[in-house]
Amino acid sequence: MTAARFTGISLAALIAATVATAASAQTIYVSNEKDNTLSVIDGQTMAVTDTIKVGKRPRGITLSKDGSQLFICASDDHAVQVLDLASKKIVHNLPSGEDPEQFALSPDGKHLIIANEDSNIVTVVDVPTRKVAFQVDVGVEPEGMDVSPDGRWGVNTSETTSMVHWIDMEKREVVDNTLVGPRPRYAQFTKDGSQLWVSSEIGGTVSVIDTGTRKVTKVVDFHIKGVAKDRIQPVGVKLTDDGRYAFVALGPANHVAVVDAKTFEVKDYLLVGRRVWQLALTPDQKTLYTTNGVSGDVSVIDVDGLKVTKTVKVGRYPWGVAVKG
Amino acid sequence: MMTKPRLPGLLRSASLAALAAVLLAGTPGAGATAQTVGEIRIGLLSQTPEPPPSVANPDEPAADDGLAGATLAIADNNTTGKFLKQTFLLDSVEVPPDGDAAAALRELAGRGDRFVIVDAPGATVEALSKLPEARNLLLLNANAPDDTLRGSACAANLVHVAPSRAMLADALGQYLVKKRWPRWFLVTGRRPEDKLYADAIRRTAKRFGAQIVAEKEWTAESDVNRTAESEIPVFTQAKAYDVLIVADEVGEFGDYLSYRTADPRPVAGTQGLVPTVWHRTHEQWGAAQLQSRFKAAAKRPMTARDHNDWTAVRVVGEAAARTRSADPDRLIAFIQSPDFTMSAFRGAPLSLRPWDGQLRQPVLLAADRSVVSVSPQEGFLHPRTELDSLGYDQPETLCKTRGKTTP
């Protein structure tokens, strides 16, 4: 077992060395919540090439616009850490407010909007100056975050309040709220910004919200044969840029749902690792990665074939995932 | 780190209404038009029986045990409420062990509280539910585990947030059976509630195919602390068994059993491995967030009693948010409808059993410093929800007044 893994790593290193100059090598970053580390996976060999020590209880992670840095919510350090990917060193912290869990980067890369889970606040950080731009009050246990593609809306879901809070980024205040199913975990705008998809972990549903009216227009339900309804707990949602699919991580149901993003029908359920939470697509949209907390691994899904092609062991309780193209 | 001062310990003080009003005034609401604020008053009637002097419990419960949970839930409700123009108020009244609970309930009802959380022994809960003044209230039983309250003494104005003894016993029994530890040695204390706990364990054994291979009653009235090492090995001599199950709700002797039994066997029940709604080490399903929010406000870990009171207040808050209404009649109907579900950091959503008014819920099995498991256990199937494998199911209910409507 150990020997096999060592061979794997050295082989990976060898391949990495020989194809280092090849274009478009992808790297996958995974935060391990209970290890205080980041696993680095080579997108070609699917081997873990490095494990980087980061702050306490790392959860949400996202790449900077130029792809040179990774922002990490180090929840128990009450900071967003900035990791320089070339040197693999934490270069500085951003002020984040207490207990940052998830965040989203504005399309221009200037603002990081952060959910402060313990204090019912969203903190907006000006990335270049590393200063807090403003804070807004939201519901109980803010979690899911996204920014609309036009930069107008910052959205936040609050888990115990069960709402989407619409932050007008210009006015710097909450101007509308949309009630969704219990315990909303994740929010993502469609590429054209016309819809917001929001998962409800305890509701067991995904709500599709029209951005113009901020009303729920569709609720997607899930049924897996042999899995109790109350084990279907949707968390991460990823929409393909071409508007074809929505992938939904179903938590302890250990499946990723494939939803037709146009008809809202569930096309398939893909079996992945245990307690699947967050998802990330590669920039070319060909591959989807999932973090499986309880089994401590990452599932690799081929988007065209809708098949799980590989499982990669990472640290304890993998939470966030980001792909550098 | 913060750029502007935040509200200190959000809504911890008694002047909840005032603070909520400030919040409302300063917060962009759901709509631009002026709307009247819906005020929802919730009463909390607490009564804590005095423990007998012989009790071994080294952990003195906090003075605000229970109340601190309700207070946090009011703050949670108000945070949500500010977006819906709803404000929640808590009227807390502490009734002495020999005090007049009926008078306290009348006072709360007189203040306009249509929801009253009763955190008191079963006898008090039953008496209050029968008062004429309680007829149009919703009483939320947040403490008493008595199965009779859900059975022959059930009432249309009474719902149960705390799990029943049958649910607790089933939660423990499922795990022991799953572990293939089906031979139980039942040790029952001398108090009436211990007999009820033992009855629940016997019912569980029957349901899940376990056997009570030995039974003994603990009758000593004295503090056994000094003599336990010599007494308990003798007392626990029994024929072959897998687990010693102790029924000692008040904690007179149960804590002295572990490590002193004649045979090396684990202890479970009211001490040892304990079925409970909450434990300070529970962190799954977002529980870590509630734990840290509670700790920041109350300066101590959340207890099961705190959690029951928190859940009771949140039941009302969740109903108000879902119906967008502050009308008590509407909320009371919604809470008891099949559409009501809420999250309580234990995985599966909570909802109400229409046949006895019991809140369906997962139950933790906790040791001193860890959560060992969460029931229902996998494999204990139920056509409706696995949660209904805990406690009295619809066909078994002894409640007649609520009607056996299909959920």
Predicted ipTM of the assembly: 0.78
Whether pLDDT at A174 is above 60:
yes
CB-based contact B203:B174 (threshold 8 Å): no
Decide: helix, strand or coil at residue B351: strand
CA-to-CA distance for A168 and A166, rounded, in angstroms? 6
The alpha carbon of residue B28 is apart from the nearest alpha carbon of chain A, in Å, by 6
Closest Cα in chain A, distance from residue B295 (Å): 11
Contact B313, B335 (CB under 8 A): no
- With cut-offs at 50, 70 and 90, classify the pLDDT of residue A63: very high
B10 has pLDDT over 70: no
Return the sign of the alpha-carbon dihedral for residues A38, A109, A304, A21: negative
Whether the upstream peptide bond of residue B376 has omega within 30° of 0, thus cis, is: yes
Per-residue pLDDT, averaged over B209-225, amounts to 87
Q: List Cβ neighbours of B52 (8 Å cut-off, separation of 6 or more).
A: B250, B252
**pLDDT of the residue at B200:** 98
Identify all chain B residues contacting A120, using CB atoms and an 8 Å cutoff.
10, 79
Which whole number is the average pLDDT over B81-101?
A: 96
Shortest alpha-carbon distance between residue B333 and chain A (Å): 19
Nearest to A182 by CA among B286, B74, B162: B286
- Give the E-state strand segments of B218-362 in sequence order: 243-247, 267-269, 274-276, 351-352, 359-360
Quote the pLDDT of residue B311. 98
Cα radius of gyration rounded to whole Å, chain B: 22
Task: Look at residue B18 in the predicted model and tell me its pLDDT.
Answer: 43
Residue A16 has pLDDT above 90, yes or no: no
Whole-number Å distance between alpha carbons of A119 and A122 = 9
Mean pLDDT computed over every residue of chain B: 89
Q: What confidence score (pLDDT) does residue A126 get? A: 95
> Cα separations (Å) of B33 from A168, B28, B29, B78?
18, 11, 9, 20
Split at pLDDT 50, 70, 90, the class of B26 is: very low
Cβ of A184 under 8 Å from any chain B Cβ? no
Q: How confident is the model at residue B223 (pLDDT cuts 50, 70, 90)?
A: low
Quote the percentage of chain B above a pLDDT of 90. Answer: 78
Q: How much of chain B exceeds pLDDT 70, in percent?
A: 88
Cβ atoms A275, A249 nearer than 8 A = no
Q: Concatenate the DSSP letters of all residues of A156-219 into one string.
A: EEETTTTEEEEEETTTTEEEEEEE-SSSEEEEEE-TTSSEEEEEETTTTEEEEEETTTTEEEEE
Please compute the mean of the pLDDT values over residues B252-269 and round it to a whole number.
95
What does the alpha-carbon distance between residue A245 and residue A264 come to, in Å, rounded to a whole number? 9
In this prediction, residue A28 has a pLDDT band, given cuts at 50, 70 and 90, of: very high
Spatial separation of the C-alpha atoms in residues B284 and B305, rounded to whole Å: 19
Amino acid at B245: I
- Residue A30 CB partners (closer than 8 Å, separation 6+): A38, A39, A41, A289, A291, A298, A314, A315, A318, A320, A321
Query: pLDDT tens across B105-137, in order?
Result: 999 999 999 999 999 999 999 999 999 999 999
How many other CB atoms are found less than 10 A from the CB of residue A81?
Answer: 23
pLDDT of B56: 60
B383 pLDDT tier (thresholds 50, 70, 90): confident
Query: pLDDT tens digits for A259-300?
Result: 999 999 999 999 999 999 999 999 999 999 999 999 999 999
Q: What is d(CA A40, CA B18) in angstroms, rounded to the nearest whole number?
A: 51
**Closest Cβ opposite residue A163 in set B83, B292, B385:** B83
Rama region for A48: left / alpha / beta (φ>0; ψ in -120 to 50; rest): beta
- Is a pLDDT exceeding 90 seen at residue B58? no
Yes or no, beta carbons of B28 and A95 under 8 Å apart: no
Nearest Cα neighbor of A237 from A265, A271, A261 is: A261
pLDDT of residue B2: 37
Query: Of A315, A228, A119, A235, nearest to B378 (Cα)?
Result: A228
Give residue B402's pLDDT. Answer: 81
> Between chains, do A230 and B347 touch, taking CB under 8 Å as contact?
yes
Chain B residues lying within 8 Å of A170, measured CB to CB: none
Does the pLDDT of residue B17 top 50, yes or no? no
- Cβ-based neighbours of A317, under 8 Å, separated by 6 or more: A32, A33, A34, A35, A293, A294, A296
Tell me how close the Cα of B282 comes to any Cα of chain A, in angstroms.
15
The token duo for B366 is 């906790």
Distance in angstroms (rounded) separating the CA atoms of residues A38 and A299: 16
Mean pLDDT (whole number) for B238-250: 96
Looking up tokens 């734990």, which residue turns up?
B291
Task: Please name the residues in contact with A182: beta carbons below 8 A apart, sequence gap of 6 or more.
Answer: A162, A200, A201, A202, A203, B318, B341, B342, B343, B349
- Helix (H) or strand (E) holding B305, with range, is helix B304-323
Calpha distance A114→A120 (Å, rounded):
11
Per-residue pLDDT at A45: 95
Q: What is the structure's pLDDT at B298? A: 97
Query: Tell me, what's the pLDDT at B54?
Result: 67
Say how far apart CA A88 and CA A92 lie, in whole Å. Answer: 12
Cβ–Cβ below 8 Å for B1 and A159: no
pLDDT digits (tens, 9 = 90+) for A100-148: 889 999 999 999 999 998 889 999 999 999 999 999 999 999 999 999 9
Which residues of chain A are within 8 Å of residue B387 when distances are taken between CB atoms?
230
Choose, out of A125, A161, A219, the residue to mutate when testing the contact with B (most B CBs < 10 Å).
A161
pTM summary value: 0.85
Q: For residue B14, is pLDDT > 90?
A: no
pLDDT band at B381; cut points 50, 70, 90 = confident
Mean pLDDT of the B245-266 span: 95
- Is residue A323 scored above 60 in pLDDT? yes
What pLDDT is recorded for position B323?
95
Confidence of residue B385 (pLDDT cuts 50, 70, 90): confident
- Beta-carbon pairs below 8 A across chains A and B: 91
- pLDDT-derived band at A1 (thresholds 50, 70, 90) equals very low
| pLDDT score of B404 | 46
User: Does B337 or A25 have the greater pLDDT score?
Assistant: B337
In this predicted structure, the answer to whether residue B210 has a pLDDT above a threshold of 90 is yes
Contact B366, B282 (CB under 8 A): yes
| Strand, coil or helix: A282 | coil
Give the integer Cα–Cα distance in Å for A94 and A105.
13
End-to-end CA distance of chain A: 31
